[in-house]
Amino acid sequence: MTNHEKIKSAFGDIKAPEGFAEKTIENAKTQKTPRIRPVRRIIAIAATVAILATASLAAANYFGSFDRLRGIIGDEQAGGLVPVGITNEAGSEITNDGVFIENKIGTLLTDEGIKIEVVAVGVDSNIIDFYFTVEDMIGDRLEGDIWINATIFPNNENASCGQLDGRILPEIIDRSEDGVVTLRGREVFEHPVTGYELRFNLYDISYNIKSGEYELDIDLASLENHTPAAVIESTPVLPVGTHNIDLEIDGIVYDSWYSRLSSIGFIDGKLHVQQWLNAQIWDPPDYQLFRLVGPDGNDVIFQMESHWYSSSFSKDEYGNIIAYDKDAPLEDLDIYREFIYQVNSRRLSEYKLVVEYVKGEQIDLRLWYTTFTIGEP
């Protein structure tokens, strides 16, 4: 018997006490004078109703979500998946005063109002494919472009299953008319993960995303030449904060960026572009990439010497430029990063400095997670 058949059979076996429906209808018809019933009996009847309602809701949710997914991805792809049907919805409950509450949103996410369901998972040796849905229960924040930060991995510290390249970040595969967004993700590991308990994490959802390119109004021919403010592992760097240019894009508050152009200038005939990053206010998606576009319209590749990345640096409490430990917690640092370009000095005015950006608002779910074990498809 398949899991589908087992669960269907289990729900099919749940029945009300014999004559329960008939007695309830008969009592309503006779309109007898209300009388005090024993509290124990009231609780028993309410509990029976709750069990029936919860069971029917769970069955409908379990099969409805997976059948809906099957309709989206097709029978062949769905054949390798195992239904999960775990949601952050608390389902039905009875309060202390005997009131029946249906479809209460889980307490952890009540403020954010996002319903989450892990619909199905497929494990093929070292690859996990996972499908889940999100639904905004209080607004329409998920209607436009959204980014979702979600992962799945073996829930075992000793599994030694490091992630590899090849993962698929959660991508939207369907939007229903009633606002349910279905996503698919993939994680690839070094070793097989078959048989492990799995943990699904959902960290945050970003919405109202704005993205594009922004050209900085800078004439490179007018830039100054600088002596290095410091030399870090043979890489000279600019003084910090000589320009401090923020991005000014309609609809985005300028001081909400976590990054800006700190300094720009020449050292030994090479163009240095210095970016400031404040990891303490970074709020995904919040992304800026500086690009130098040459006279031919193509991007100029920044210098790729063996120590170029060491030009990421910080300042000490006295303002001195220092290299930082790349393994140190970055949230405690103001970070400066320099990109170094070889340019044609006779055509400097033809170069453009462009910022590629992404900016959005975030729903912080405070790490909603669930763990489960799946069997064979």
pLDDT tens sequence across 210-262 = 889 989 999 999 999 999 999 887 889 999 999 998 888 777 766 677 888 99
**pTM exceeds 0.75, yes or no:** no
What integer pLDDT is reported at residue 43 of this predicted model? Answer: 32
- What SS3 state is found at 282? coil
pLDDT tens sequence across 161-203 = 667 777 788 999 999 999 999 999 999 998 888 889 999 999 8
Q: What is the mean pLDDT of residues 112-130?
A: 92
**Residues above pLDDT 90, as percent of the chain:** 40
Rg of the chain (C-alpha set): 29
Residue with tokens 């704005």: 210
Strand pairing category for 89-94 and 100-105: antiparallel
* Residue 331 pLDDT class (50, 70, 90 cuts): low
* Residue 63 pLDDT class (50, 70, 90 cuts): low
- Identity (one letter) of the amino acid at 46? A
- What SS3 state is found at 238? coil
Q: What is the mean pLDDT of residues 22-28?
A: 36
Residue with tokens 């290299």: 323
- Going by C-alpha positions, the residue among 101, 181, 112, 104 that lies closest to residue 147 is 181
Residue with tokens 């109004």: 217
Q: What is the residue-averaged pLDDT of the chain?
A: 76
Ranges of each domain in the chain: 38-196, 212-360
Residue with tokens 């074990």: 373
What integer pLDDT is reported at residue 108 of this predicted model? Answer: 46
pLDDT tens sequence across 269-327 = 999 999 988 877 767 778 888 999 999 999 999 887 655 556 778 887 787 888 877 66
- Going by C-alpha positions, the residue among 310, 291, 288, 289 that lies closest to residue 301 is 291
Strand stretches in the chain, DSSP E: 82-87, 89-94, 100-105, 114-124, 127-136, 147-154, 168-175, 181-188, 198-215, 230-232, 235-237, 259-267, 270-278, 286-293, 312-315, 321-323, 334-341, 352-372
Structure tokens at 235: 């890489």
What integer pLDDT is reported at residue 95 of this predicted model? Answer: 42
- Going by C-alpha positions, the residue among 236, 339, 359 that lies closest to residue 286 is 359
Structure tokens at 186: 């993939």
Give yes or no for residue 36 having a pLDDT over 60: no
Give 336's contacts (C-beta < 8 A, 6+ positions apart): 237, 240, 262, 274, 275, 276, 277, 312, 313, 314, 315, 321
DSSP state of 127: E
**Residues above pLDDT 70, as percent of the chain:** 69
Structure tokens at 267: 């050292």
* Residue 330 pLDDT class (50, 70, 90 cuts): low
Q: What are phi and psi of 247, to 5 degrees?
A: -75, 135
Highest average pLDDT, of 30-39, 45-54, 55-64, 228-237, comes from 228-237
DSSP state of 267: E
- What SS3 state is found at 239? coil
Give yes or no for residue 59 having a pLDDT over 50: no
Give yes or no for residue 267 having a pLDDT over 90: yes
Give yes or no for residue 66 having a pLDDT over 90: yes
What integer pLDDT is reported at residue 123 of this predicted model? Answer: 94
